Amino acid sequence: MKTFEIRIKTTEKTLKDFVRTYEGLQAGKRVTKKKGVFFTNVEAARNLLTPERIKLLTLIHERKPGSIYQLAKMCDRDQKNVHADVALLERYGILETRIRRGAPRTHRVPRVPYDEINLRIPLAAQPKL
């Protein structure tokens, strides 16, 4: 099962990880890329994973639409708004699109290469109340 991970990290932890990566690269060490997305608070993750976007991801995963137009019809939403959501989710790496050329036009075909999304919220990463 392939899992996409979203994690909450403090700004301090993010900066420490950046410094560690930078120092490793400067020393010529091999640095492995971590898959997933990192946010500094839960609200930012919530803004990415809106109910509408989760529905899009589910429809793409289960029904495999042949275009963004088909996806918009499946969820009864405006094609322009669906296209914007697909572009955002693609930018974060949660889904992929490929170009399918055909007559009379070219289509972007969305695909979700993951079976689940895992949201990790370390308690130490939460702001002090």
Q: What is the pLDDT of residues 69-124, one digit of tens each?
A: 999 999 999 999 999 999 999 999 999 999 988 767 888 999 999 999 999 988 86
Q: How far apart are CA 112 and CA 56, in angstroms?
A: 10
pTM of the prediction?
Answer: 0.81
Percent above pLDDT 90 for the chain: 60
Give pLDDT, residue 125: 47
Q: Which domains does the chain have, with CATH numbers?
A: 3-125 (1.10.10.10)
Average pLDDT over residues 11-33: 84
Buried b (16+ CB within 10 A) or exposed e, 23-36: eeeeeeeeeeeeeb
